[in-house]
Amino acid sequence: MGNCASICAKTKTTDNNDSCGNTNLNIDSAKKVHIEPHVDKSKHTTTIITHKTSDGEVITSQQSCCEKIDDDGNKQCDRFRTNLRQFYQKLTLPNVPWINEEIDLPIAEYFTQLELKESDKSIEIEEIFNSVNGKQPTRILFEGQPGFGKTALATKLAYDWANNEEYIDFEFSFFIPLRELEKKSMEVVLVEIGNRCDFEDITQIVKKHKKQTLFILDGLDEISREERQEIMKILFKQKYSDVTVIVLCRTSHFTVSKEERKEIFGFSNVSGAFYDKRISLLGAKNNFRHILLNSKLFDSPLFRMLSPVVIAAGVKIEEIATTTEFYKKIFNATVKHNCEISQNNNIDLFDVTSFPMNNIQEQIRHFGLLSAEKIVQNDLKFDSNELTEEIRKMGFLINRKELIHCTSKKHYEGLNLSIMEFAAAYAFFVELKVNDMSASTEKLLKEMANHYYETRGTSQVLQFLASLLEDDLDRLLAFIDSCCAWFSIDFDLAASLVVRCSENNISNSKYQKNFIRPHE
């Protein structure tokens, strides 16, 4: 047997229950082979072969996924690909509670075609992987405003891969909502996705096919700075450099400070741009913009999804002029549509002149404060309890299916992050208008101001709140005046704080001069 003193081969079979058998082969010489079979042939096999040389060196080799053949003659990687496609073929768009809860929304029927732009040039979804300067892009950034279809697009990409669409030609594709990471490493995430497809460990499959693997990472803006360190290493090719990565986040949200670069990479002179292709997601394609006072509203797939409820409540959508007004109509309309008091056509959540407030207003206020806490903590999941169940019935929370791991604990998520942001603004609006703000709520409001600053103005809570307060803008600015130094050194950030307020309300504010210095 050449230079080998002995060869030991062990074949293991694995499944999710650890009910594995094994076959031990002890080879003392060419004539003495002892085999002890304990193999469950219904399970897939992983073969590890250990060679021991005459000088005692142990050499271990492992069959690749392309070499492992099951009893039906299928390669391990082919079987996993089939299972993964079947898993993603079941993807649907989130349904809203006022639609029959048993009805999912098939992507093929309900996905709204989106307007995409690359370097001010309109492109189709089939063109997103086109080469850049003769090179295939491996890091693609999608940016879009809240409610403009980022998650829907990510879902569509995974669904199209599962259904063998030509433009998304990868051997493997993994759809990873970053809100589900829970501080796990990508290796652990891949193992959990493998488990959902009845494979115990797919690490070797990804390694073998890395140049033909796609990661779809949705919601970079939904995770904290600490949680995104793992993702930063992937985006900047410190890990999985040969894997193609698509990442989706809010417009202008992605920034990497020098401190963060040094923290992640050990030095700060790393380019802040990781992508070789940047695509703007401008919302839904449409021919109806002329009917709205604010045409950009109709670009939002969220607006389109919710507008039938608004129309059913008797609202003329063509008269909606501002984003804040749209959300006010949405909140009033959904409450009317779903609650026991829906027959009361005079209900107005924003009429807080009468005291005490009605039960529905209190529920929305409590939900808003809870949403504010969740936003600050970057934890967008809601436990199931009496309050969240009522909010779900109203239509503001949904039971979203997790894609990374199975969980037996029931929880909800916001229909959209912007819904949570407006609910938080509503809660602070009520506190400033009606209640004597408690120390804990005041602290939360200041934390929200800090969050607004950290997200470079992409968080909408303070913008919504400033607009809701109208001529009482100073009530907000007085409470966050301790933060004015941050805003005063950044004109654009300070200006975006009051961008949804009327010019009259801004000019009448006594505190605005502390936040907005004259633009030089």
Residues spanned by the domain of 214: 64-284
Say whether both 108 and 203 belong to one domain. Answer: yes
Please check whether residue 42 lies inside any domain of the structure.
no
Strands 139-144 and 244-250: parallel
Same domain, 99 and 217: yes
CA atoms within 13 A on the CB side of 474: 9
Residues 139-171 pLDDT 10s: 999 998 887 889 999 999 999 999 999 999 999
Which two three-digit tokens encode residue 293? Answer: 């006072």
200 belongs to a structural domain: yes
Stronger pLDDT, 281 or 337, i.e. the higher one? 281
Q: Is the dihedral of CA 182, 187, 193, 196 positive or negative?
A: negative
The beta strands (E) that lie in 384-485 are given as 397-398, 411-414
Last residue of a domain, one of 258, 284, 310: 284
H/E stretch holding 214 reads strand 213-218
For residues 498-513, average pLDDT: 76
Q: Are 197 and 82 in contact (CB under 8 A)?
A: no
Q: What is the pTM of this model?
A: 0.72
23 domain-assigned: no
Same domain, residue pair 259 and 122: yes
- 194 shares a domain with 76: yes
Identify the CATH number of the domain in which residue 149 sits. 3.40.50.300
Indicate whether 381 pLDDT > 70: yes
pLDDT digits (tens, 9 = 90+) for 451-490: 888 887 888 999 999 999 988 888 888 888 888 877 778 8
Is 20 part of a structural domain of the chain? no
Q: Does residue 319 sit within a domain?
A: no
Last residue of a domain, one of 241, 267, 284: 284
CA dist., res. 478 & res. 469, Å (int) = 13
Identify which has the larger pLDDT, 338 or 136.
Answer: 136
The total domain count for the chain is 2
Q: Over the chain, what is the mean pLDDT? A: 78
150: left (phi over 0), alpha (psi -120 to 50) or beta: alpha
Do 264 and 359 lie in a common domain? no
pLDDT band at 315; cut points 50, 70, 90: confident
Domain assignment of residue 302, yes or no: no
- If DSSP codes are grouped into helix, strand and coil, which group holds residue 163? coil
362 and 280, same structural domain? no
Structural domain ending residue among the three candidates 251, 284, 317: 284
